Chain A
C-alpha cells in the first residue's frame, strides 16, 4: 500500500490561441502524498490553476492535456472514461474556486448545493448530509450555522461564502481538495478567518490539498511543501521551511527579496513648512449618502503619504475629491497654501498640471488606439506647447527616466507591452506634465510581485530626483512598509489614525490599525499559528471587527 495520492509525470498542457495550440504547462512532475498540503505558487500566467485542474483530470474549454500522465490513487485519470472521472469528482476530489460568489448557483440555497454531491454520489442521505453540513458550518465558525445554509448565495457575505464553499468541498470527505486562490478576492481581515478555517478543517480530516496562490506569505501558512512555477515550468520544490530559509534558484530568491525592499526614513518635516497638498475637513457624498466624514491630512514636498484601508473605506473617493472629480460637500483642498476650486472644470491649466494621477489598471488607463509617443506626447504638447522634434525629444527623455529604451517603445501600442511596461508609461504620462504632486491609486496591486517592486523602486528614485510628493492609495501593508513616509489609516470614510510610518508600525495603536496590521500574512510559517493563539479563537475576524463597531 503506497501513500502516494496524486502522481503527475511530465504533464504537458496546451491552450488554444489564434487557431494554434500554445503550451501552458511544459512538462511538470507533481507528487502528492496522502494528507499532505502542497502549495503551488507563481505569477499570473504561470499555469497554476491549469495544473491544479489537471490534477482532477479536468480541462477548461480551449485547453487540452497534450502529454504525460495523471494518476489519482492508482487510477489513470487520462485513460479513465468520462463516467469514471465523474464518479471521482466531488466524491474523492473536490474543488474550491477563487470566487465563491460566482461559483455558487444563484438559484439554489446553500444547503441544497451542499448536499447535492453526497446525495448524487450516494455517500449520504439528504437529511444526514444536511445535518453534516450544519456541523461543518459550525466547525468553520460561520455565524448562525443552523440557518445560514437556508439562505441564497447573494444573501451571504464573500468571506462567509468562501467558508461555505470549503464546507461544500468537505461534504463527501474527499481525499483531495484543490484550493484555487480561495482568498485572493477578500480583504486581509476576512482572509485570515478563511485561512484559519481551511487549515483547521484540512488538518482535522487529514485531507490532502493542493493550495494555489500567488501570495508567498499565505502559502507559507498553509502548505507542507511548496512548488514554484514560472511560465509553465517548475522552478523548484522543497519543504516549506526549507524553501523559506534557503531558496536555491535565483527566481525564487528574487521573489523572497521583494518583501525586503524598504526606503531609509527621511528627516521630519520642518514645523512651519507649507504642505504641497492639504486636505482640510473634507466631507463628500455620492448622492445623499456621505462617504467621507471630515477627512484632513497634509502631504509635504518630497514625501509619500500612504492612505491605507480596506475596500469601501473611502481611499479612492478622497483621491476623486483632490482631483476635483467629486466636489466635496464641506471642506476643501489647498495646493501650496492656495485653495483649489472644488470642481476640476473650474481649475486653471496650471492647477490641473500640478496634480497628476497614476491608475491601478494600466489597461484602462492608456488609450489602446494610441502609441506611446502619442500618449506621453499629449501632455507635453498640451501643457508645455512643444511640438514636432522638440516634443519627440522630450518624450524620449521621459521614457529614459522610466527606464524604457525610447527607440524601441515610442511607436508601440499598449497591447504590445507587458503590464509593468504599461504601468511605466502611465508614470511617464504623469511626469510629462511636470507636476508637484502625484496620486498613485493602487498602482502595484494588479502586478506580479517582482514587477511591482520595480515600479516602487522607480517611483522612489523619481521622488528623490524630482522632489515629487506622492499620495499612495493601497490596501497592501507590505507596500506601505516599503515606500511610505507617513500613513493615514481609513475606515468607513473616516481617518482612524495618522502619523509617521515608524510610529504606525510600533504599538500601541488604534484597535482597527492593530487588526489591519496583524492580519497581513508574514513569511514566517508559524505566523498564523501564533496569531491565532494570541488573538484567541473567539477574537477572530467578524467578532473582532464587530467589537470595534
Chain B
C-alpha cells in the first residue's frame, strides 16, 4: 500500500496547493476593481466621510498582501468577512455598529440548500445514467443506442434554462404536478422540501444524466473492445458473467471518474437553475451579489465553488488510483 499512499498524499498536497493559488487568483482579480471598493459601493455621490468610514471598516487602508493574508486566515476559520450590502445599509442609516450579518451567516443556510439540491440530483441521475450508459454500450448501434445518442446530445446542447422552462411548462403549468418556484424555508419538512426541490433537480438531472451516460457508454465500449473481454467470451463464459466479473472491475475507475466529473459539472449548472426556480441556494446568492457588486460575498462564493470543484476532481483522481489493480498490487 505504501506507493499508493504516497501518490495519494502527493495528489492531496497538489490539490491544496491549487486551492491556495486559486484563492490568490480570486483575491487579485477582485483587487483589480478600479478605484476602491468603498467608492464602488457608495457611488459618486457619497460623502468623503462615509467613504472613509467604510474604508476603515473593511480594512481597505491596509496593504493588499496584508489584506489577503487577513482574508485567507479568516476564510480558513470560516470567517468570510462582512457583506457589503450590509455595510452599505449600515452606513446609509448612519448606525455604525448595528446588527451585522456576516458573509458566513448569509452563506451557510444557502449552502445547505444547494447541497440538498445537488444531493437529490445525484441520487436520481447517477443510477439512472449509469444503467442507461451500460445498456447503450451493450446494445451499441441498435435503435435504442441511436435514439439515446440523439436525445443526450440534444439535452447536453440545450442551455439549462431551456430545459428548465420546458419542464416548468409541462410539469408545473400544463399539468400542475410540481411547484414552479422553490420557496424553501428553514423549518420545512423533508417531504415538502423534496417536492419543491424536485423540478430544479429534474432539470439538472437531464443535463448531468446526458453527460454521464455518454461518458459511461464510451468507457464501457472501450473496455468491451479490449482483448481480455474477447478472451473471456472465447472461454465460453456466460455473457452476464463476462460483464460482472471481467468488465465491471476494470470499468470501476472510469465510471467513478465520470461520476465525480459530472458532480463537479453540477456546480456550474446549479447557478442558472437556481435563478430560474428562485431556489434559495448559493448560486442564486452569487448571481445577486454579482449584480450589486457585493465583493466579499462574490469572493466567498467563488472560493466555495472552486474548492468543491477541486475537491471533486481530486476525489475522482484518488478513487481511480485506488481501483487500478496495477497500482494496488505492485510488482
Contact = CB atoms under 8 A, between A and B. Distances in A.
- Within 8 Å by CB, do A and B touch in the complex? yes
Interface of A: 56, 58, 60-61, 86-91, 94-95, 97, 99, 102-108, 116-117, 120-121, 152, 154-155, 168
Nearest to A168: B235
Contact of B241 (A88, A108, A120, A168): A120
A60 B232 CA distance: 13
B317 to A, nearest CB: 19
Contact of B325 (A60, A91, A121, A154): A154
28 contacts: A58-B233, A61-B225, A86-B238, A89-B233, A90-B237, A94-B235, A95-B231, A95-B234, A97-B227, A102-B227, A105-B232, A105-B246, A105-B250, A106-B228, A106-B250, A106-B326, A107-B246, A116-B237, A116-B245, A117-B236, A117-B237, A120-B236, A120-B241, A152-B326, A152-B329, A154-B325, A154-B326, A154-B329
Given A95-B234, A116-B235, A104 B331 contact: no
Contact of A155 (B230, B231, B329): B329
A120 B232 CA distance: 11
Contacts of A91: 236
A89 B234 contact: yes
Given A86-B238, A152-B326, 6 more contacts: A56-B234, A89-B233, A95-B235, A97-B227, A105-B249, A120-B241
A124 to B, nearest CB: 14
Contacts of B233: 58, 89
Contacts of A94: 234-235
A116 B237 CA distance: 8
Contacts of B238: 86, 120
B226 interface: yes
Interface string B53-73: 000000000000000000000
Nearest to A91: B236
Contact of A105 (B228, B234, B326): B228
Given A91-B236, A120-B241, A106 B227 contact: no
Nearest to B225: A61
Interface centre among B233, B234, B241, B325 (most CB of A within 10 A): B234
Interface of B: 225-228, 230-238, 241, 245-246, 249-250, 325-326, 329, 331
B331 A155 contact: yes
B235 A106 contact: no
A106 B247 CA distance: 10
A116 B249 CA distance: 16
A89 B326 CA distance: 29
A93 to B, nearest CB: 8
A225 to B, nearest CB: 24
A120 to B, nearest CB: 6
Given A154-B331, A155-B331, A90 B235 contact: yes
A87 B233 CA distance: 11
Nearest to A86: B236
A60 B230 contact: yes
A434 to B, nearest CB: 46
B227 A99 contact: yes
- What 3 A-B pairs are tightest by C-beta distance, nearest first? A90-B236, A89-B236, A90-B235
Nearest to A107: B249
A338 B228 CA distance: 54
B234 A102 contact: no
A384 to B, nearest CB: 48
Contacts of B241: 120
Nearest to A104: B228
Contacts of B227: 97, 99, 102-103
A99 B231 CA distance: 11
Contacts of A95: 231, 234-235
Contacts of A99: 227
Given A99-B227, A120-B241, A106 B234 contact: no
Contacts of B225: 61
A81 to B, nearest CB: 13
Residue from the set A60, A91, A117 with the largest chain B CB neighbour count within 10 Å: A117
A257 B158 CA distance: 65
A347 to B, nearest CB: 40
B325 A106 contact: yes
A154 B227 CA distance: 15
A87 B230 CA distance: 16
A35 B225 CA distance: 32
A105 B226 CA distance: 9
Contacts of B226: 102
A478 B228 CA distance: 34
Nearest to A156: B331
B250 A107 contact: yes
Contacts of A88: 236
Nearest to B232: A105
Contacts of A168: 235
Nearest to B249: A107
Contact of A58 (B234, B249, B331): B234
Given A107-B249, A154-B326, A154-B331, A87 B231 contact: no
B10 to A, nearest CB: 19
A152 B232 CA distance: 16
A87 B325 contact: no
B236 A121 contact: yes
A103 B231 contact: yes
A87 B236 CA distance: 6
A56 B331 CA distance: 35
Given A152-B325, A155-B331, A102 B228 contact: yes
Given A105-B250, A107-B250, A154-B325, A97 B235 contact: no
